[in-house]
Amino acid sequence: MLWQMNERIDAELSEGIVIDYINDRFAVVIKDDVWTDYERKALHHNPLHIYFGYERVCAFFLIENVDSIDTSDAVFDIHACDEKEAVLKKEQYELEIYLADNQNQVCAARAITLSKADSKIIRDALEKQQETAYDEEGFDRALYKLQHTYEPFEMEQLALLKASF
C-alpha cells in the first residue's frame, strides 16, 4: 500500500475523487470532510464495483461501494501521467482505494487486483489515448461535455468493463 491507516497523504487534495498512477499501481483517493465508521468498514465489507470507460479522448474510472459510496468518476489522462511507460507495459493492474478526511489522513484503504483481461481493456484504451493527438483545451472540452451530459452513475452505460470485488 502506498499509504497506511492514519497516515497523512502529502499532496494537495480537494474534496472529491482523484486518480493517478504511482509506484506501479493506480491510486484512487476519495476525500470528504468526515467518514463515518460505517463508510470506513463498508470499503472492506460491501461490494465494490469498478468500471472503466473511454469516451471521446477521456479515460475514466467509476467507483461504487454499495450502500456507502455512490458512483464517483475519476478521469485518467495518460498525457499527464509521469509513469506513462510503466502504465502501458503493465500486464495486470492493481488499484488502491483510499478514503481521506479533511486533513488528508487515510481513514480506510483497500487494494484490489484486476484480471488480466480487464487490465488489457484498460491498457488498450490508454494506448489509444496516448496515440491520439493531444491538445489540453480539446481534452478539457471533451471532459466538460462528458461530465455535463452524464451523472457518474449514468456513465456506467459507457463502461468497457465492470469488475466487482
Written as nine digits, the cell of 143 is: 471532459
Residues belonging to the chain:
165
Tens of pLDDT, residues 79-109: 999 999 999 999 999 999 999 999 999 999 9
- Kindly state the average pLDDT of the residues 118-137: 96
| Whether this model's pTM surpasses 0.85 | yes
Q: What is the mean pLDDT of the chain?
A: 96
Q: What is the dihedral of CA 75, 29, 9, 125, to 10 degrees?
A: -40
Confidence (pLDDT) at 56:
87
